Chains A and B, each alone.
Chain A
Amino acid sequence: MRHSRILTIKINDQAISAHEDETILELARQNGIVIPSLCYLDGLSAWGGCRLCMVEIKGSDKLFSACTTYPLEGMEIVADSERLKKHRRDVLGFMFSERNHVCSVCVSNGGCELQDLAAALGMSHVEHPYLNPVLSVDASHKLFCLDHNRCILCTRCVRVCDEIEGAHTWDIMGRGNTARIVADLNQPWGEAGSCTSCGKCVQVCPTGALFEKGKSVAEMRKNREFLPYLQLMRGTGHADEDGDTP
C-alpha cells in the first residue's frame, strides 16, 4: 500500500487534491493545467534542467521548478503569471539561440516539442543573437542519427537509456555551452558497444537531435507510447520511498 498523506493545494486558484509524493508538475497535468516543460518526461526521473516549468509559490519571491517541487498543505501555486510567461519565452529563446535550430530543414519540423512550445508561448522571434556553433552530425549508427545542432541537452536520452533500457550508452561530456551528448566514452554511436539499438532515445528526444535514418525533412514523428506501457508492466509508476508499488 502507498503510505503518503493526501494534501489540498491550489494551482492557478484551482483546488487540487494531491499525494505528498507527487510533484507540482504531475499534479498540474493530472488536472489539465498546462505547465510547459522539455526535459521532464513521465516515466523518467526528474532532471530540472530546462527551467520552463518554473512556477511561483505564494509567500516566496523565488521561482521553483514544478518537476522537482513537492506540495505542502495549503500551498498556493501560480503557474501562468506574466512574469513566468516572460521568463519562459526568454529561456526558450536561449535554447533557440544556443545551437542551430532551423525548422524548415529539420526532420522533426511539425513534430517537435521545442517548435510546438515556441508557438504555444507566442514566441515570434529570438531576441538573443544566434551563437551559430559549428557542430557535427553522427550518422555512424546503422539505424539512427544524432544531430548535435538540434540538441537542447534535456538528457531524456541519457535517462531513458540508463533507467529504462539499462544500457547507459549516453552521457554528457564537457561543461557549460561546450557540453555534448556522447555515446560510451565519446565514440561514434555506431561503435558504441553498449548500445542495444533499441531506439528508445530516439523516441523520447523532444527535437530532431535523434532521428531514424532515412527520414527526410518533416518526416520524423516520435512515438512515446512505450513509456507509460513499460511503466505499467513493470509496476514502477509512483514507487514510494520504500520501493513499494501501488
Chain B
Amino acid sequence: MYDQLENIPIAEQAEDEKFAHTFHVCVAASCLSLQSDKVLGALREHAAGEETGHHCRVKGVGCMGLCSQGPMVSVSHRNEPGNFAVYGKVSPEHAPALVEAAREREVVSELLCDTGMPFFRRQKKIVLANCGVINPERIEEYIVAGGYQALLTVLTEMTPGEVIDEVVRSGLRGRGGGGYPTGLKWKSVAKAEAKRRKYILCNGDEGDPGAFMDRSVLESDPHRVIEGMIIAGYAVGAREGYLYVRGEYPLAVDRLHKAIHQARRLGILGDKVCGTRFSFNVDIRIGAGAFVCGEETALIASVEGLRATPRSRPPYPAEFGLWNEPTLINNVETFANIAPIIQNGGSWYAAIGTKESTGTKVFALAGSVHNTGLIEVPMGISFQEIVSDIGGGILDGRQAKAVQTGGPSGGCIPAEYFETEIDYESLKVLGSIMGSGGMIVMDDTANMVDVARYFMDFCKTESCGKCVPCRVGTVHMSNLLEKICRGQGTDQDFWALEELCRVVRETSLCGLGQTSPNPVLSTLRHYRHEYLELLRNDDQQQCTDEMEPAS
C-alpha cells in the first residue's frame, strides 16, 4: 500500500503547528522581475526573531494573479482561515511593518489589496487553485493540498476506460486554442495501436504575444501538470511523456526539473508508480525559440531533434506522432484540469461554464485596464465583466475599443460585442478564436491597422519557411500594411491585401499560415473605415464607393 500521500500531510501539519503566521511571497516570473526575492529575504530576516507563540513562516509561492500590483505578498494565521490579507507593491523596506502587523493580527493598510474586489471575487479557480498558495518547489505542499490523490484513485480504483469516460463526461476541450474535445482525443490514442510504445506530449510552447498562462501554471504548480500527464498515460496506455517547454521560460524549466526529481524520489514517477504495476516517466524538452513549435506536428519534429517544420495532417499525431507512434498531445492547461476532474467527477466540471464549452479558462489579461494579470473565469462570462469588473475598467477614464484574443491567430473584438458570452463558438462567430488565452484590452486611442501590422510582422518572422504562401504571402501582407500605415497605400494595395488574406488562409500548410491573416481580416471586418482613412486621399473615395453595396 502506498502511504506517502497520508504520511506527508501528517508531518507537514506537525511542522505547521510551529508557526502562528505564514507569509506567502509570489516568486513567479512577473513578481520575481520586480525583485520579490529580495522581499522574501527581508521578510525572512525580520521574521526570524523569536517571539513565543508568534513564530512567522515565510514561503515563496506561485502567481497570485494580480501581476500589476506585484510584488504580491499574502498573510494567513493559524486556525483563522477567514483572516487573510493580500498586499501589493511590497518592497523590502516594508518587511518590518508587515511582520509586526502580522504578529498583532493587524494589517498594513497602505499596501492592502481589497480581497473583496471583483478581481478576486469573480474568478473561479480550478487550474490555478494552488497557484499563490503552495510552494511550487516542494512536492510535500502539493500533496497537502490534495495533490496526487487523483492519480492514486485512478491507479487503484479505475480502469483506463473509466478514466477516459470521466474526461469525456467533463466536456473538457483542448485549452491550446483549437478546442478539440480532450476525451475524444484520448479515446483515439487509446484505440490506436502502437508498434512499440505510445507517448504523452505536453505542449508548453506558449508563444502568443502577451500570453503567460502556461508559464504561470508551470512556475506555480508544476506537479499539477505532471499528475495530469501520468493519468493520461495510464488512460491511453503510454509509459513515457515529454514536457515541451519553450527556452524562454528558464524558471519554469528549473521548477519542472525539481518537481520531476521529487516525484521520482517519492515513487510517483518511474517504475511502479505509487507502488502499482503501472510505470511512467516524464522528461523535459526545451524549445529553441520558434513560435511554430506550438503547432503539434512541428513540436513533434522538434522533440525528435529535427528542424521544427509542420507536416500535413492527417495522419494525426493520435495515429502517427512522435517517432511515428500514437501520441497524445495536450496543452499545459488541459493537463492541469485533469486531476480536479477525476477528483470531483466529470459532471461537476461539465456543470461549470456553458453547454458546449465547459469548465473554466485561464486568461492573461493585459493592456489598458487597471488590473492586469492572470485570471481564471468560468466559460460563458462576458467581455464586459472581464474588462469592467475583473479588469477594473479602462485606464485614465478612457473608453474601451476592443479586446484582442488568440494572439497572431486571433482577432479583435470591438466594444459593441462586449456582452457576448465567451466560448469557443461565439469567438469564432466574431472572427476571432479562443486561442491559448491571451487577452489584450485596447482603449480608444488604439490604431487597429497598426495592431494588424504588428501581428503580421510577427507571423512573417515566425513562419518556418516550409510552404510558399506563408513564407512569401506574409511578407507581402506585412509590406502592404507597413505602406498603408505610412499613409502611402492606394486602393490597389487595399484590394491586394484582402486577396492575399484569402490565398494565404486557403493554401497554407499549417495553422500558423492558415490563421495568419486573421488579425487583418477581423480588423478589416470591424474597422474597415480605419484602413480607408489611411489610404491616399484620392483613393479613399474610390474604395468607399466600390465598397458600399458589399458592406
Q: Contact between A172 and B479 (Cβ–Cβ < 8 Å)?
A: no
- Is A127 part of the contact surface with B, judged by Cβ < 8 Å? yes
Bound-state CA distance A48–B292 (Å) is 16
Specify which chain A residues have a CB less than 8 angstroms from the CB of B307 in the assembled complex: 171-172
A213 within 8 A of B: no
**At the interface, yes or no: A100 with Cβ under 8 Å from chain B?**
no
Q: Are B466 and A177 in contact (CB under 8 A)?
A: no
Interface residues of B in 437-471 (CB under 8 A from A): 460-469, 471
B312 with A128: CB separation less than 8 A? no
Query: In the assembled complex, which residues on chain B have CB atoms less than 8 Å from the CB atom of A90?
Result: 469, 499, 503, 507
Instruction: Tell yes or no: A233 within 8 A of B by CB.
Output: no
Chain B min CB distance to A66 (Å): 10
Whether the pair B467, A131 counts as a contact (CB closer than 8 A) is no
- Counting chain B residues whose Cβ lies within 8 A of the other chain, the interface size class is 20 to 34
**Cα of A31 to Cα of B469 in the assembled complex, Å:** 28
B311 and A177 within 8 A (CB):
no
Contact (Cβ within 8 A) B312 A175: no
Our count of residue pairs bridging A and B at CB distance below 8 angstroms stands at 96
Q: Write the A125-166 contact mask toward B (1 if CB under 8 angstroms, else 0).
A: 001110100000000000000000000110000000000000
- Chain A residues within 8 Å of B472, by CB: 94-95, 97-98, 128, 131, 177
Inter-chain contacts of A186 with B (CB < 8 A): none
Answer yes or no: A179 CB below 8 A from chain B CBs: yes
Instruction: Give the shortest distance, in Å, between B339 (CB) and chain A (any CB).
Output: 36
Q: Per DSSP, are chain B's interface residues mostly helix, strand or loop, or mixed?
A: helix
- Judging by beta carbons under 8 Å apart, are A50 and B507 in contact? no
B494 to chain A, nearest CB (A): 14
Residue of B with least CB distance to A47: B466
Q: How far is the CB of B350 from chain A (nearest CB, A)?
A: 30
Q: Report A-chain residues with C-beta under 8 Å of the C-beta of B460.
A: 176-177
Contacts of B292 in A (CB 8 A): 175
User: Which of these, B290, B466, B476, contacts A128 with CB under 8 Å?
Assistant: B476
Flag whether A63 is at the interface (Cβ < 8 A).
yes
When distances are taken between beta carbons in the complex, the residues of chain B under 8 Å from A174 are: 465
B507 touches A51 (CB 8 A): yes
Are B506 and A63 in touch, CB under 8 angstroms?
A: yes
Q: Nearest chain A CB to B134's CB is how many angstroms away? A: 39
A65 touches B506 (CB 8 A): no
Q: Which of B479, B507, B509 is the most central at the interface, judged by chain A CB atoms within 10 Å of its CB?
A: B507
Q: Does the CB pair A51–B465 fall under 8 Å?
A: no
Smallest CB–CB gap between B418 and chain A, Å?
30
Which residues of the partner chain B approach A62 to less than 8 Å between Cβ atoms?
506
Q: Which of B469, B471, B506, B508 contacts A176 (CB 8 A)?
A: B471
Task: Judge whether B465 and A172 touch: CB under 8 Å.
Answer: yes
Cross-chain contact A48 with B312 (CB below 8 angstroms): yes
Q: Is the CB of A48 within 8 A of B465?
A: no
Picked from B464, B473, B506, the residue with its CB within 8 Å of the CB of A175 is: B464
Identify the closest chain B residue to A50 (Cβ). B468
Cβ contact within 8 Å between B462 and A49: no
Name B286-333 residues within 8 Å CB distance of A.
Answer: 290, 292, 307, 311-312
**Interface pair A91/B469, CB less than 8 Å apart:** yes
Proximity bits, B469-501, A CB within 8 Å = 1, else 0: 101111110010000000000000000100100
CA distance A51 to B506 in the complex (A): 10
Q: How long is the Cα–Cα vector from A50 to B508 in the complex, in angstroms?
A: 9
Does A68 make an interface contact (CB < 8 A)?
yes
Chain B residue at minimal CB-CB distance from A131: B475
- Contact (Cβ within 8 A) B312 A68: yes
Q: Which residues of B contact A50 (CB under 8 A)?
A: 467-468
Which of the listed residues B460, B469, B479 has the most CB atoms from chain A within 10 Å of its own CB?
B469
Q: Which of A158-200 contact B (CB under 8 A)?
A: 171-172, 174-179
Min CB gap A135→B, angstroms = 14
Are A51 and B468 touching (Cβ within 8 A)?
yes
Which of B464, B465, B468 has the most CB atoms of chain A within a 10 A radius of its CB?
A: B468
> Given A172-B307, A175-B290 in contact, is the A51-B469 Cβ separation under 8 Å?
yes
A69 to B315, CA, bound (A): 9
CB <8 Å contact, B474 and A176 = yes
Select one of A49, A63, A178 contacting B468, CB under 8 A. A49
A176 pairs with B465, CB closer than 8 A: yes
Q: How far is the CA of A178 from the CA of B471 in the complex (A)?
A: 9
What residues of chain A lie closer than 8 Å to B508, measured between beta carbons?
A: 51
Decide if A87 is an interface residue (CB 8 Å cutoff): yes
Q: Kindly provide the distance from the CB of A12 to the nearest chain B CB, expressed in whole angstroms.
A: 19
Q: How far is the CB of A88 from chain B (nearest CB, A)?
A: 9
- Chain A residues, Cβ within 8 Å of B312: 48, 64-65, 68-69
The answer to whether A129 touches B476, judged by C-beta atoms less than 8 angstroms apart, is yes
B333 shortest CB reach to chain A, Å: 27
Q: Are B479 and A49 in contact (CB under 8 A)?
A: no
| Bound form: Cα–Cα A129–B477 in Å | 11
- Could you say which residues of chain B place their CB within 8 Å of the CB of A129? 476, 479
Q: Cα distance A127–B475 when bound, in Å?
A: 14
* A51–B467 touching, CB < 8 Å: yes
Closest B residue to A92 by beta carbon equals B468
Taking the nearest CB of chain A, how far is it from the CB of B220, in angstroms?
A: 32
- B476: which A residues are within 8 A, CB to CB? 94, 97, 128-129
Once bound together, how far apart are the Cα atoms of A65 and B507, in whole Å? 9
Please pick, from B290, B311, B473, B506, the residue contacting A94 in the complex, using a CB distance under 8 A: B473
CB pairs A–B below 8 angstroms (11 shown): A48-B466, A49-B467, A51-B469, A63-B507, A69-B312, A87-B506, A91-B503, A94-B468, A98-B471, A171-B307, A175-B463
> Other than the known A64-B312, A153-B466, what 15 A-B pairs have Cβ atoms closer than 8 Å?
A47-B466, A49-B468, A51-B467, A51-B469, A63-B506, A68-B312, A91-B469, A94-B468, A97-B476, A172-B307, A175-B462, A176-B474, A176-B475, A177-B471, A177-B475
A interface residues, Cβ below 8 angstroms from B: 47-51, 54, 62-65, 68-69, 87, 90-91, 94-95, 97-98, 127-129, 131, 152-153, 171-172, 174-179
Q: B residues engaging A (CB < 8 A)?
A: 290, 292, 307, 311-312, 460-469, 471-476, 479, 496, 499, 503, 506-509
